[in-house]
Amino acid sequence: MNRKRCELCTVVLFVFGCGLFGSAACSTEDIADLSGRDRGTPEQQGPVVVSDAEIAAVVSAVNASEMRRAQVALQSAQLPAVLDFARAMLHMHSEAEQRQSAFFAQLGISPRQNPVSAALVADATAFTASFSASDGSFDRKYILTEIKAHSSGLSLIDEQLLPRAQSPEVRAELERFRATVVAAHLASAEQVLRSMGR
């Protein structure tokens, strides 16, 4: 298997847990080969976000992924708490996308697609395909996916986006997005899981 493709899969796994989304981009053996202790130089570790334009694309992909999963949940979930959570995700990530699109446009930054943003969109598509047909366990799977997604989203922001933000305005927007959207949604998802009795 092409090593570059597998490195991209490693980023996807780190970012939003492709195991939960059913991504088949790499085999388990391929991922295991890349998860060893010696990963070489940063340049050899796979794609990274390198500009504010790429950050804009990643943030937009995060919002799009959340909205897509929420739409599936609204069609497949059964528990009121899960349906309420999905409605909140759809509404809040839609608002975040509109606000951030205007924000980046005001700064003259056009989103530049990159391997990380493409991987996020691909995983949302895989989630849609794998969970469209509910087998009665959808609610728990969706909430567990959301917990993993938002937890990984915090890591993505902290470890890749914030350190590479070029302008103070973009850094401030990322910090706002982290606190008011990603971290808040993680706490909400964990609360829903507790209400389900784990």
Distance, in Å, from the CA atom of 128 to the CA atom of 134, rounded to the nearest integer, reads 11
Q: Are 181 and 93 in contact (CB under 8 A)?
A: yes
Q: What is the pLDDT of residue 136?
A: 67
Tokens 């796979």 — which residue? 46
Q: What is the pLDDT of residue 49?
A: 74
Residue 46 has pLDDT above 60, yes or no: no
Distance, C-alpha 151 to centroid of its chain: 9
Most confident of 28-37, 106-115, 127-136: 106-115
Q: What is the pLDDT of residue 123?
A: 84
List the single range of 36-40, 134-138, 186-190 with lowest mean pLDDT: 36-40
Q: What is the pLDDT of residue 197?
A: 80
Distance, C-alpha 90 to centroid of its chain: 14
> Any idea where the domains of the chain sit in the sequence?
49-195
CATH architecture label of 49-195: Up-down Bundle (1.20)
Q: Are 104 and 111 in contact (CB under 8 A)?
A: yes
19 — pLDDT class (breaks 50, 70, 90): very low
Residue 8 has pLDDT above 90, yes or no: no
Distance, in Å, from the CA atom of 105 to the CA atom of 111, rounded to the nearest integer, reads 9
193 — pLDDT class (breaks 50, 70, 90): very high
Q: What is the pLDDT of residue 111?
A: 96
What percent of the chain lies above the pLDDT cut of 70?
73
Residue 92 has pLDDT above 70, yes or no: yes
Q: Are 174 and 49 in contact (CB under 8 A)?
A: no
Q: Which two tokens stand for residue 1?
A: 């298997």
Q: What is the pLDDT of residue 52?
A: 97
Mean pLDDT of 75-104: 96
Q: What is the pLDDT of residue 132?
A: 57
Q: What is the pLDDT of residue 24?
A: 32
Residue 156 has pLDDT above 50, yes or no: yes
Higher per-residue pLDDT: 40 or 177: 177
